[in-house]
Amino acid sequence: MSGNDREIGLESIVIDVLINDRRVVRRIDVRQHLGDFLRVDLELTGTHLGCEHGVCGACTILLDGRTTRACLTLTAQAHGKQVHTIEGLSESGALDELREAFIAHNAAQCAFCSSGMLLTAHELLQLGKTVSRDDIRNYLSGNICRCTGYHAIIDAVESVLRAKGGAA
Amino acid sequence: MKARGFRYYRPGSLKEAVHALRDTGPDAVAMAGGQSLLAALNMRLSNPSLIVDIGDLPELQGIEEVDGVVRIGATTRHADILRNAVIGKRVPLICEVGSHIAHAAVRNRGTIGGSLAYADPAAEWPAAMVALQASVILASPRGERVIPAEQFFVGLLETALESDEIIVRVDVPIPASGIITGFGELARRHGDFAIAGLVVCTLIDKHKLIDPRIVYLGCSEYARPAVNMMRALDQMEIPLSNAANFADALRKDAPSNDVPGLRGETRQKIAEVLTRRVINSLERPK
């Protein structure tokens, strides 16, 4: 420490954030990550916490429209931004085709990874590119599933892409 | 898997940011995307007293071409670099290399400055910036300084950054015409840390490599020119048929020790095969 008597920074701050298009203003501990804020403070438990160090992808949410790992994001970093979770996107109908395809292809077994898989697959669809099966596999590579062996998930995403004319 | 307590500060300008670092001392840390820092905080491998959040400072963002140089703001996100038209046209190697960085969600948040400051030996940007002879621009309360990427990385996770300095941007010179570039890496799954990889920039004349510049990742302690390999391969005819004439040089530039799950010998072999693969697939000048 430099011996300054004025310490810089705060241990708790007020954040103002849009969660699933609803304005939320709360005081939070700055050490809290966004996954805990969603699950504990807001009781949005559709965002799952697996590894909490950025490896498993279960906590994937959309921050300003882009997939983001909630466990690798401080709640404080979401200040002034938009967050969408599996709850918000499910209610809006944005995931309907993907959800139906996941059910049809048996792509959810225990479903722990499903919210993250759905949001990541949703982002891939939004990119609007023509993609191959390998591209789908690479795009979903940051989301770990311990049940299905991935083929069913890739089948499901491919079927939605095919229906939209985006599968190579 | 929860971070310890720390203080958090969101500065309004770069000036406020570097002063906060100076006034707090070496246990303050700047954070942009936080994609490496948050993992380290959650696992309690890192214990800063203050986090200075520079992620939304507009003066550190953006990409522009100025006098033969592509300037990339430090907090430009990987995903934004990969979809940038100037970079795609002027330095396509950057897009090729960057597409191997982690996974989509991490590329959406992580920044080039953060990757350079963290200096992970398996990271893609440090190797690419050294290979492309980029310069790193640093700011502190004392002003700005420019340092070649080659001198910025000094050891395992170690850089020339002083504790009150923040990376402002990286300046990448547009490769001269005739320079041919290549990249390859091997990871267990797409986006994982590279077991081994390399970035190559070279001239090719009559099927011979001329003055090749090679930087390894994953199998080198830090991003630096692979000087022994560069000497060994200079004037060598391609395609390289076998590794006999560069095996010793590779051992010096990418010495591999046994680690849990991977024998040094195996990593060495992977580096050797990748080197031949990347060099032999370099696109010849038309």
For chain B, give the longest Cα–Cα distance.
Answer: 61
B112/B73 Cα distance (integer angstroms): 8
pLDDT interval class at A1 (50, 70, 90): very low
B218/B198 Cα distance (integer angstroms): 9
pLDDT interval class at B285 (50, 70, 90): low
Residue of A nearest to B42 (CA): A53
Chain A contact probe: residue of B7, B45, B56, B164 with most A CBs at under 10 A: B7
* Chain segment B53-103, per-residue pLDDT in tens: 999 999 999 999 999 999 999 999 999 999 999 999 999 999 999 999 999
Q: Given this model, what pLDDT does residue B284 score?
A: 63
Residue from B140, B133, B116 nearest B225 by CA: B133
Angle B40-B43-B45 from CA coordinates, rounded to 5°: 55
Mean pLDDT of B23-42: 97
* Closest CB to A142 among B49, B50, B191: B191
For chain A, give the longest Cα–Cα distance.
Answer: 64
Check A141 against B79: CB less than 8 A apart: no
Mean pLDDT of A119-137: 95
* Chain segment B201-248, per-residue pLDDT in tens: 999 999 999 999 999 999 999 999 999 999 999 999 999 987 888 999
Q: Find how far residue B284's CA is from the centre of its chain.
A: 25
Check A4 against B23: CB less than 8 A apart: yes
> What class has domain B7-53?
alpha beta
Cβ neighbors of B83 (< 8 A, separation 6 or more) are: none
Q: A66-69 and A60-63 as β-strands: parallel, antiparallel, unpaired?
A: antiparallel
Chain A contact probe: residue of B18, B44, B45, B109 with most A CBs at under 10 A: B109
CA B215 → CA A42, A122, B33, B69, distances in Å? Answer: 47, 36, 26, 21
Residue from B87, B91, B76, B185 nearest B132 by CA: B91
Check A60 against B102: CB less than 8 A apart: no
Give contacts of B 122-181 with A, CB under 8 A. none
pLDDT interval class at A148 (50, 70, 90): confident
Residue of B nearest to A28 (CA): B8
Check B8 against A10: CB less than 8 A apart: yes
Q: Check the CA dihedral B238-B241-B244-B249 and report its sign.
A: positive
Q: Given this model, what pLDDT does residue A5 score?
A: 58
What is B58-173's CATH number?
Answer: 3.30.465.10
For chain B, the helix, strand and coil percentages under 3-state DSSP, each to the nearest 5: 35, 25, 40
Backbone angles phi, psi at A127, to 5 degrees: -65, -25
Q: State the nearest Cα–Cα gap between B14 and chain A, in angstroms.
A: 15
Check B103 against A52: CB less than 8 A apart: no
Cβ of residue A8 closer than 8 Å to a chain B Cβ: yes
Contact A57, A142 (CB under 8 A): yes
Cβ of residue B2 closer than 8 Å to a chain A Cβ: yes
* Chain segment B140-199, per-residue pLDDT in tens: 999 999 999 999 999 999 999 999 999 999 999 999 999 999 999 999 988 889 999 999
Residue of B nearest to A119 (CA): B105
Helix and strand tally (H, E) in chain B? 12, 13
* Closest CB to B23 among A8, A66, A68: A8
Check A67 against B108: CB less than 8 A apart: yes
Cβ of residue A144 closer than 8 Å to a chain B Cβ: no
> What class has domain B180-280?
alpha beta
For chain A, the helix, strand and coil percentages under 3-state DSSP, each to the nearest 5: 40, 20, 40
pLDDT interval class at B256 (50, 70, 90): confident
Q: Given this model, what pLDDT does residue B244 score?
A: 83
B283/B183 Cα distance (integer angstroms): 11
A37/A43 Cα distance (integer angstroms): 8
Cβ of residue B102 closer than 8 Å to a chain A Cβ: yes
CA B250 → CA A159, B39, B221, B230, distances in Å? Answer: 46, 32, 13, 10
Q: Check the CA dihedral A17-A19-A21-A26 and report its sign.
A: negative
Contact A54, B106 (CB under 8 A): yes
Q: Given this model, what pLDDT does residue A2 score?
A: 44
Residue B218 burial (CB count, 10 A): 25
* Chain segment A65-118, per-residue pLDDT in tens: 999 999 999 999 999 999 999 999 999 999 999 999 999 999 999 999 999 999
Q: State the nearest Cα–Cα gap between B188 and chain A, in angstroms.
A: 11
The burial class, CB within 10 Å (0-12 / 13-18 / 19+), for B241 is exposed
**Unique residue bearing structure tokens 């994609």:** B35
Chain B residue numbers with beta carbons less than 8 Å from the beta carbon of A2 are 22-25
pLDDT at A3 > cutoff 70: no
Cβ of residue A129 closer than 8 Å to a chain B Cβ: no
Chain A residue numbers with beta carbons less than 8 Å from the beta carbon of B104 are 67, 120, 123-124, 139, 142
Angle B84-B85-B89 from CA coordinates, rounded to 5°: 120
Domain definitions of chain B by residue range: 7-53, 58-173, 180-280
Full set of structural domains in chain A with CATH: 12-89 (3.10.20.30), 95-163 (1.10.150.120)
